[in-house]
Structure 1
Amino acid sequence: MNSLLFERSLGNLGPNVFATLQTTTLLRSFAPAPRFCFDGGYRSPGPSEGSSTPLVGDAVEQPFLLWAHQAGVSSLALERFDGRILVSGGSDATIKLWDLEQCSNSSSPHLYRPIASIPRAGDQQASASGHRFGITHLSFYPFDSAAFLSSSYDHTLKLWSTQQARVSGSFNLGAKVYTHAVSPIASHLLVACGTQHPAVRLVDLRSSSAVQSLVSPGQAGGSAGATLATAWSPVHEHVLATGAVDGAVRIWDVRQSSGLVALLDQEDSFGIQGGAELGDRVIRFSARAHAGPVNGLTWTDDGAFIVSAGHDRRIRVWDAATGANTLASFGPTIRNSQLGSLTMFTSPLGLTASQQELLFFPNETEILVMDLHEGSIVTRLRGMGPSVSAIRAQRGGERAVKNQLTSIVWRGAGGGGSSSGAVMGGTNAPGGIYSGHLDGQIRAWLPQLGGLDEEDKDISQEVTVAHAKKRKALDDTFRSLMGKQITFS
């Protein structure tokens, strides 16, 4: 660090290069932050074997583990403007809102408590508008943190007021809703919903109706199966990518009557040549992106690449302009077996140098940080508690579940999804990663501010060695003069 500051002071490093070097280092230094706990008002009967989760605040004396949701955390969403409000959904159909600014000092332990809770429908008279079954996906309104969306196994998509924690609209889609997505740049306010039905449903928040179903000509007889992943392009407001049980990743243009413009093919490493558009080539309906269901999709912030993940334990990176498989190899360590939508993301634009983006991937019981284009593992984020945990079932009693990651969200400075946010937040709440787990807990992961870099360590070691030599020389001199050894402490 000192050497970088020295180069910066000499003018050898520009401010942008200096910032990129620093943020790249921080991106590679994430570690668990167990001093932050999320208390949803539930307590497990006692710590599970092998658990080392500490408690803070007024719960520090209690021999319990804290639950954010008693039946497991199934989804997380963080508003992208201030990065202040975190919304969590549980397998018990409850929704909770957390204010990350409750923490007055990010270096001290803190116990977060929800600022609002939405119970399961039927639990209370006032909660008739809540969901009846587990939450599958959460997301914030794209241009205003005053509203967020939730989808559930109860066939509904709901729009909520963030401030009042009250439902503003409800849409029954007639099938289990696995995921939904809202474009981060579009003004059309279409919500793409992936359901148990092979057709992708588009819900218009303006007209409060389902306006369109995206059906591929190759889906005759419903052969595509359920849609598990949806992701809008961050640069083209009408372009949508979806992943289905049949292993296909489909690219849609919602302005066209047919909709489908391309299918990504794992055997195609060349893509479209000669400056043609992605939708200009003849669609080969037998093309498959994965050999198993596709449950994870994301775009890089600049829209240049699409990242997909499937049950075949493969992650593939696609050139968004040509549809070519870039052949990035992520090795045999990938694990992906959950039926629902898998949340992954790439490092925000500007935090790393070009073509050096990082992919943050929930690898069932760990978070893998990998080089997006090389596929190499940069670091593994572990320390998530016991591998098997006891959670409370909806109908009473307890059951043992594998402590699996269900959702991860990014928080930068001044915004959860801001591409320009720094790694560390400039407000009280720490920037970093927040993860939801089937053991009912929400955990925080923060970059570690390192001390001396390697060059500084070498210099420090040289100074220490020289200092020791001087002391030895003085000791030898006085011993020869006095006839006895004198030691300086």
Structure 2
Amino acid sequence: MNQLLFERSTGNIRPNVFAGLETTRVLSSFRPAPRFRFDGGGGGGASAPGDSREPEDGSVTGVTGEGSTSIWAHPAGVNALALERFDGRILVSGGADGAIKLWDLEQNPNPTPPHTYRAVSSIPRADADSKTAAAGHRFGVTHLSFYPFDSAAFLSCSYDQTLKLWSTEPTRVSGSFDLGAKVHTHAISPIASHLLVACGTQHPAVRLVDLRSSAAVQSLVSPGQIGGSAGAALAVAWSPVHEHVLAVGSADGAVRIWDVRRANGLVGLLDQEDSLGPLHPSRLPGSGSRASARAHAGPVNGLSWTDDGAYIISAGHDRRIRVWDAATGANTLANFGPAIRNSHAGSLTMFVSPLGLTPARKELLFFPNESEILVMDLHEGSIVTRLRGMGPMVAAIRARGGERTIKNRLTSIVWRGAGGGGSSSGPVMGGTNAAGGIYSGHMDGQIRAWLPQLEGQDDEDEDNATQEETETRARKRKALDNAFRSLMGQQITFT
């Protein structure tokens, strides 16, 4: 850091280059922030056998079936998260039991000491015999998203075959759409004025719901999907620069690009064996993508675009992540290695570092790797860092009918920019509650926070450390001191 400051002051590097290098370093320095915890209240929760964690702020907690104390956001597990993009203040979470909770991330006026967030609003699970559309979801929430132009509304979808539109304050349902099939995911364009919500369901056809007319106005079906051969649509993502372009990932391993304005709106299929792409200028007319083209050898459950719309990122059950040139559909052949883990049947959330935070072609991909978050170079595929500290590998959760043991899997991650949730909010600064950060949802019922580590924060961390952390650091320092003395020969005697 001091060397970079010297180079900038002497004019050897430009200020914008310095900012890019420093921000890249900060982005790769994320680490767990266990002092921030989320308490959804209620009875029952998640615990690991023998887990006796106490809340760091001394708050009142529930008692799990294991006899230990813990707090949780959703007793049955966290299935989905969404963060509004304007102020980055309101976080909404969806549980495996169908409940939805809203959290105010500005609840804590002083971000340095430990803090437990309390849900500011809660939507309970609807009863099985509920007949009203105003009730919450009956089954697990699968995906959440905020209305792109106003944080006053958000959407949720569920295994109960419905898509719901909610007002944020007061929290109440504004619209409910029965799609007739399990809804895995949904997406609304961040730039369009058409207000179409693309819904990926158990049915191969992608349903488009118009929020203006409150109706499902269109289904996207290609010839190869007739008869249901394509399987479920597991991932949908609108282009951030072309308001009518939609990417869809299916259980058959295909990624289809649609233009929703056209009657036969299929633009092309991404092909893992094609490094030129069906839209490359050298292609002859009529030599578009093959009907049998596949992006992955297994179901595609993750799709994302870069902020400038230049690249599409896809993830599949074949444990591969692929980066595609959005202009031509070409496979860029980025290799992310064998560390990728992706086996969940539901939709997967991943994101790329916002535009402008890193130098050109140095974007970072944040990927939920089941039991860790991988931070990787988007174009080279190399792992920059692994974010671990997800809690117990196996946890007991409180579900209807009793307690059961589940694998503690990472289910969702969201990005909070510096001072807000937008993707272009400026450089990340860490260590404060208004700083950039990551929030993750887990099957053990916890929501965890991850913040970047700035240089010079070690002393502050020691001041706020618990007694156990202080003792651990003291033991490590003693071991290093003994090793140093041994190497320096102070323990060697001659006779």
Name the TM-score, length of structure 2 as normaliser: 0.87
Partners of 2:61 and 2:92 in 1: CA distance: 28
Tell me the secondary structure at the aligned position of residue 424 of structure 2.
coil
1:371-405, CA deviations, whole angstroms, 9 ceiling, x for partnerless residues? 11111111110011100000011x23100010000
Paired residue for 2:202, among 196, 199, 203?
196
Q: How does 1:55-454 map to 2 (within 5 A)?
A: 55-59=55-59, 63-122=68-127, 128-272=134-278, 275=281, 281-393=287-399, 395-424=400-429, 428-451=433-456
Partners of 2:39 and 2:83 in 1: CA distance: 18
Structure 2 gaps, min length 5: 63-67, 458-495
Tell me the secondary structure at the aligned position of residue 397 of structure 2.
strand
Q: Which amino acid aligns with 2:255?
A: V
Tell whether the 8 Å contact from 1:81 to 1:418 is kept in structure 2 after alignment. no
1:40 correspondence with 2:48? no
Partners of 1:431 and 1:111 in 2: CA distance: 19
Give the percent of matched residue pairs that are identical in Structure 1 and Structure 2.
Answer: 75
Partners of 2:322 and 2:171 in 1: CA distance: 38
Tell whether the 8 Å contact from 1:44 to 1:66 is kept in structure 2 after alignment. no
Q: Which amino acid aligns with 2:76?
A: A
Q: Which amino acid aligns with 1:244?
A: S
Q: Which moved more, 1:193-202 or 1:416-425?
A: 416-425
Partners of 1:278 and 1:417 in 2: CA distance: 41
How far is the alpha carbon of 1:272 from its aligned partner? 4.5
Q: Does the C-alpha gap of structure 1 residues 420 and 150 become closer, same or farther in structure 2, counting only changes over 3 Å?
A: same
Partners of 1:428 and 1:107 in 2: CA distance: 8
Q: Does the C-alpha gap of structure 1 residues 69 and 192 become closer, same or farther in structure 2, counting only changes over 3 Å?
A: same
Tell whether the 8 Å contact from 2:142 to 2:159 is kept in structure 1 after alignment. yes
Tell me the equivalent position of 2:471.
none
Structure 1 gaps, min length 5: 453-489
Q: Which amino acid aligns with 1:303?
A: G
Tell me the secondary structure at the aligned position of residue 180 of structure 2.
coil
Tell me the equivalent position of 2:492.
none
Q: Does the C-alpha gap of structure 1 residues 287 and 123 become closer, same or farther in structure 2, counting only changes over 3 Å?
A: closer
Partners of 1:61 and 1:128 in 2: CA distance: 31
Tell whether the 8 Å contact from 1:311 to 1:336 is kept in structure 2 after alignment. yes
Q: Does the C-alpha gap of structure 1 residues 325 and 61 become closer, same or farther in structure 2, counting only changes over 3 Å?
A: closer
Partners of 2:61 and 2:290 in 1: CA distance: 63
Tell me the equivalent position of 2:23.
23
1:145-187, CA deviations, whole angstroms, 9 ceiling, x for partnerless residues? 0000000011110000001110001111110000000111111
Larger Rg over CA atoms: 1
Partners of 2:269 and 2:133 in 1: CA distance: 42
Tell whether the 8 Å contact from 1:300 to 1:306 is kept in structure 2 after alignment. yes
Q: Which amino acid aligns with 1:402?
A: K
How far is the alpha carbon of 1:415 from its aligned partner? 2.5
Q: Which amino acid aligns with 1:32?
A: P
Partners of 1:200 and 1:279 in 2: CA distance: 28
Partners of 1:127 and 1:252 in 2: CA distance: 31
Tell whether the 8 Å contact from 1:423 to 1:431 is kept in structure 2 after alignment. yes
How far is the alpha carbon of 1:8 from its aligned partner? 2.5
Q: Does the C-alpha gap of structure 1 residues 273 and 242 become closer, same or farther in structure 2, counting only changes over 3 Å?
A: closer
Partners of 1:29 and 1:427 in 2: CA distance: 14
Partners of 1:353 and 1:280 in 2: CA distance: 38
Tell whether the 8 Å contact from 2:185 to 2:347 is kept in structure 1 after alignment. yes
Partners of 1:274 and 1:352 in 2: CA distance: 28
Partners of 1:324 and 1:18 in 2: CA distance: 32
Q: Which amino acid aligns with 2:18?
A: F
Tell me the secondary structure at the aligned position of residue 92 of structure 2.
strand
Tell me the equivalent position of 1:476.
none
Partners of 2:28 and 2:43 in 1: CA distance: 34
Q: Which amino acid aligns with 2:225?
A: Q
Partners of 2:298 and 2:284 in 1: CA distance: 24
Name the TM-score, length of structure 1 as normaliser: 0.88
Tell whether the 8 Å contact from 1:43 to 1:67 is kept in structure 2 after alignment. no
Q: Which amino acid aligns with 1:159?
A: L
Q: Does the C-alpha gap of structure 1 residues 320 and 51 become closer, same or farther in structure 2, counting only changes over 3 Å?
A: farther
Tell me the equivalent position of 1:475.
none
Q: Does the C-alpha gap of structure 1 residues 327 and 80 become closer, same or farther in structure 2, counting only changes over 3 Å?
A: same
How far is the alpha carbon of 1:279 from its aligned partner? 10
Partners of 1:116 and 1:277 in 2: CA distance: 55
Partners of 2:445 and 2:281 in 1: CA distance: 50
Partners of 2:287 and 2:176 in 1: CA distance: 39
